[in-house]
């Protein structure tokens, strides 16, 4: 199943790239673009009476899209990934940002900005994650542990390139835990010793962005919701991201993002190793550095 999903995503991306290489009368139907940024921070202390640790951190972020519109068909593709590392004093190098998300959506015009649509959404991370990232004793995540793959069919309301509301009553969600130690623990809702969990339910995906809300400030938001029909449908999985980018000039920017996640299948483990109920997960990022928009 995982190979099938990944092969499907690779094929879609390959087709998209090959389409860009066609003649000019075909290329005009494509729109592409994105933003890439590298943010840095550093603290250096020498004989500092107030105490503290030297630290250095860097984060690389990329958001890109490749969309095709012709006649009654619309094909939207997005790629979002980021990776960051931080080093504090004599502690081990630890990651501060880690995500991969690929989405492809094919729609047929139903009239008045509505599209009959099918979507594939894939999410995971690059590297191992630890509960205690500075000491790195307790592993809690890895590449494809977890990994999420969703197939869905529904309706997409898209009045412009800056707004999309996709609603699907038919969604298949696969959760992968391909790390053996995490699989034995039954992490992320899979049964102990298994690698894949299947769920069927409904989903909603909202994407919105606005340029120059005030001068040189761009805002975007993303909201993903999923409810399982067979397992506690009242406990909706939520993944909401909000952020804004402040352009200083063509190559310098400041970035702030907030990501809120709630998943009833992800249990909280305290410092004593006791498993508690699901908790709201919060991640914030603020950085300044180099950026390029194309």
CA 259, chain centre distance (Å): 10
Q: What is the pLDDT of residues 196-243, one digit of tens each?
A: 999 999 999 999 999 889 988 999 999 999 999 988 899 999 999 999
Question: Do 232 and 210 meet the contact criterion of CB atoms below 8 Å apart?
Answer: no
49 inside domain: no
| Nearest by Cα to 167 from 225, 103, 235 | 225
Q: Residue 265: pLDDT band by 50, 70, 90 thresholds?
A: confident
Q: Report the half-sphere exposure of 155 (CA within 13 A, side-chain side).
A: 8
Q: Residue 61 above 60 pLDDT?
A: yes
pLDDT in the model for residue 90: 80
Q: Residue 67 above 60 pLDDT?
A: yes
| Nearest by Cα to 88 from 113, 120, 52, 62 | 52
48 inside domain: no
The tokens of 87 are what?
Answer: 């080093």
What radius of gyration, in Å, describes the C-alpha atoms of the chain? Answer: 21
- 148 three-class SS: strand
The domain in which residue 239 lies consists of 2-43+54-293
pLDDT in the model for residue 26: 59
Q: Residue 121: pLDDT band by 50, 70, 90 thresholds?
A: very high
Greater pLDDT, 117 or 251: 117
d(CA 128, CA 85): 12
pLDDT in the model for residue 274: 65
| Nearest by Cα to 173 from 192, 146, 155, 194 | 146
Strand partners, 237: 226
155 inside domain: yes
What CATH number has the domain bearing residue 26? 2.40.230
pTM for the model: 0.86
The tokens of 173 are what?
Answer: 């969600």
Q: What is the pLDDT of residues 107-119, one digit of tens each?
A: 999 999 999 999 9
159 inside domain: yes
Total tally of structural domains belonging to the chain: 1
């Amino acid at each position: 199943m995982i190979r099938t999903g990944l092969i499907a995503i690779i094929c879609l991306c390959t087709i998209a790239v090959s389409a860009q290489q066609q003649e000019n009368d075909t290329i005009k139907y494509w729109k592409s673009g994105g933003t890439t940024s590298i943010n840095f921070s550093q603290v250096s202390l020498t004989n500092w009476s107030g105490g503290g640790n030297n630290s250095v951190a860097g984060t690389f972020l990329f958001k890109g899209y490749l969309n095709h519109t012709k006649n009654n068909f619309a094909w939207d593709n997005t790629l979002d990934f980021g990776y960051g590392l931080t080093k504090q004093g004599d502690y081990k190098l630890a990651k501060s940002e880690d995500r991969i998300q690929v989405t492809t959506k094919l729609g047929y015009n139903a009239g008045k900005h509505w599209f009959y649509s099918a979507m594939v959404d894939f999410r995971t991370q690059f590297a191992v994650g630890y509960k205690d990232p500075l000491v790195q004793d307790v592993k809690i995540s890895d590449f494809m542990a977890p990994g999420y793959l969703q197939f869905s069919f529904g309706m997409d309301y898209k009045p412009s390139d800056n707004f999309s509301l996709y609603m699907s009553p038919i969604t298949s969600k696969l959760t992968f835990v391909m790390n053996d130690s995490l699989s034995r623990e039954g992490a992320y809702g899979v049964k102990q010793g298994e690698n894949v969990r299947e769920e069927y339910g409904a989903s909603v995906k909202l994407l919105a962005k606005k340029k120059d809300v005030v001068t040189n400030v761009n805002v975007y938001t993303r909201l993903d919701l999923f409810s399982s029909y067979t397992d506690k449908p009242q406990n909706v999985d939520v993944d909401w991201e909000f952020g804004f980018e402040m352009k200083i000039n063509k190559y310098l920017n400041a970035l702030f993002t907030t990501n809120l996640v709630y998943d009833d299948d992800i249990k909280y483990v305290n410092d004593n190793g006791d498993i508690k109920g699901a908790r709201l997960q919060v991640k914030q990022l603020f950085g300044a550095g180099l950026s390029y928009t194309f």
